[in-house]
Structure 1
């Protein structure tokens, strides 16, 4: 790290300190330092404090443009106040109605006219809309007394704004009392000033009426409530009368149709000789029903008999269930068992040909013959049972077929009869239903029950309803704040100037060497006299940043430039020269702005001869150096303004001058012209070891800054960073304070914690 008090002059230049700008050998020329730009510390996008910083930036914008917000707020509040004061007072009266569900049914037929089936929400919404209809307004207007017409005239009279517009248009003023109000206009007046306000989650509804007179508002609110109740009753009676008339006409028609259909039915039955066509009552139908049941039973018996027969043919005779269950077979088997047992007992004594033995054997053979005969008889009985069941089934099926033909013939002949009979039944049902409903309507129509009642009648209000000064001012306050904030944010959004150090890092990609506050009173030189002032401390931080800008310290030759004039580059060049001189360095300040020089005014020195004289070949620069009142600070003014500054600066004499200056002084600072519009700054930036760009806060546009940076890069300039000047910390919020010192006082004041 460089020592600020140590000299960076090469050994060959130390001996010539008393004779500056003496030509030195090329080997002793100061090599250009490798710039080491400061790396800006940018906030990570994933930092959780990003949202908080964004909100804080919005607050800074509002603080910066607080007077704009206050002006918009005051304007809107003034407009609201004036409008409220000149607006006529409106009085609102309120009548409260209770509306119950309607239960009257005109025609009791599902899907035709729903009564209670209508949802309560639809019903009440219908009633609210009926309150707003023009028919109700015309009903109220028709019953309005003559003594209230004056109040109507006053309410319909044009306001102050309307009269003023008419006067500006040249229209004559009309007398409200002399104007005749027609029916349509009066009904429109009632509709415009009436408000319907349903009470949530209840059957109550409030009817409001607004006018210029409290008593007139109460009268009109009560008149609307009474007219609505009367209109509801009229609708119910009209509906009953219409229903009765409609039912009478329909009953007469159905009565004639019923008589005609009955006559046709009787005549057709006489012609065809049909007596009781009902299938359930006719003998053929009854017999067919019985035969169906018998046929089913016969089929079941035939199936069972057929199964037995197949079993006798496929199974061993002795294993048949009928044989096993036969009592005779069982007795014969027992007898054979006894004889066999006797035969075996006597066989031990007698021989088979013994007469007794032969007799027993004969009995056994006889029993076997009887068993075979009995089994054969059982098999014959099973077969006979099957034949009988099959014969019965055939007879029943034949009879059923005959009955079916008879019934089908009867049905074919009774088609028209059934049609006529159904028509008679239908007409009789319709006639009976309409007759019953006609009687119900006749009874209900005379009752006149009403489901709407007045809960609270309207009274004359004691105070005006509108305009409400407090509410209007509150709304105006909210609207003014919103409009002011939106306008401030919109203007800030449209403002594309570089205002903060973050803008420099984000838009230009350069490090911020320092931030210089705006001086509202006095001059920079006056502020520099106080070494503890914020202005001096800010430039002292710039000097410190430059000492760490490269590996070898501060570049020997510094070029100070800006994008446009009046951004503070000359002040920055002078201030940095003074601060480097305070470190004991020999500093040469060159005013290279050959178009609009200003350093000789700031240093109060003569500008009769200077840099332009040397570049034009008039003499050596030694005679043009000016000693200043500041120790270790020498100045080379611009001299007379030449007609071709760019050609002079691009010549070899400017290169020789910078080599001599670098060899003779510890620090060379060049105050150059702006970059945009001219080529002087590009030439000087290429010849210098480092370039410092001065940007004025709130004045330099982002496009200008990018264009300047492109030109400097094209000229191969070594841009060290940016000095942001004329920053107003009070307009940018508390995030841009300056250390421990208050900006308002020139003496140091501790305002933070150590």
Structure 2
């Protein structure tokens, strides 16, 4: 280390790149020639300054040539240095002694760098060896456990082999005492399960399941089967039973066909008489309604009104269904004027005794 420090102090090369640049710059032939020309121009400039003034053309020409040559020298010097970095001209090793000392400095630094790298590698290897040395007792304990298990497995194998050999010897001794008495017969039917028992059990549980399903459906069924069930459920008296109408008997555009059918007239006449009988005063108003549309209230009204008119009573039908009135369709009449016009106090003009409004 002291030798490298002394060489750095003598050569004034603070790092390896500067030392390399100094040797290259001092040994290059072209740079040597440029330095000689530059020294010659410096001498001429000094001599001209002694003879002429500072503004003399000859002096200015020499100074310009010196500056151009110095710039060229610096460019060439930068080309021989690492990474084309410019160095100071005074740090260039011009003579042989300076070049030798700088070369020794470069060699010493390269050797020191190599030794430092080798030292780092040795230190890394040493750290790894120390880490492995710390782990060695743990691995040794695992190895001892595996060796002990291997020994136990080998002992168990030897014991099993001896038992197997004893079993083979005993089997060889018993084989000589065995003889065939009779050949076994193959059964025709399976011993289990018995099909008859399975069939009886399945039939029994099937009947129980069927009865249970029927009882469950009976409990869950809320359909009204007859009139008595409806009276019992609603707690209201029965007024009458109306017949089912076919598609041809729904409209009353041919009233004669309806009046000639006693099977259709009689149920509606009985309903009208029942309503009159149950009414304490003179029956003048009947309201027919339902919870949902499509339950037949319009058909009941039309047929009941027809029977009432047949009994020579003045009958007026008011269809208050503003969403879907159909009374005018049943009697084959015009749709207007209707109840909306009546409520708005518009004039109503009709050409029949039985007015209709929707």
TM-score range with shorter-chain normalisation? 0.3 to 0.5
Greater CA radius of gyration, 1 or 2? 2
Structure ranking higher in helix proportion: 2
Structure ranking higher in strand proportion: 1
- Per chain length, whose mean CA-contact separation is higher, i.e. which structure has more relative contact order (CA < 8 Å, sep 6+)? 1
TM-score, with normalisation over the residues of structure 2? 0.40
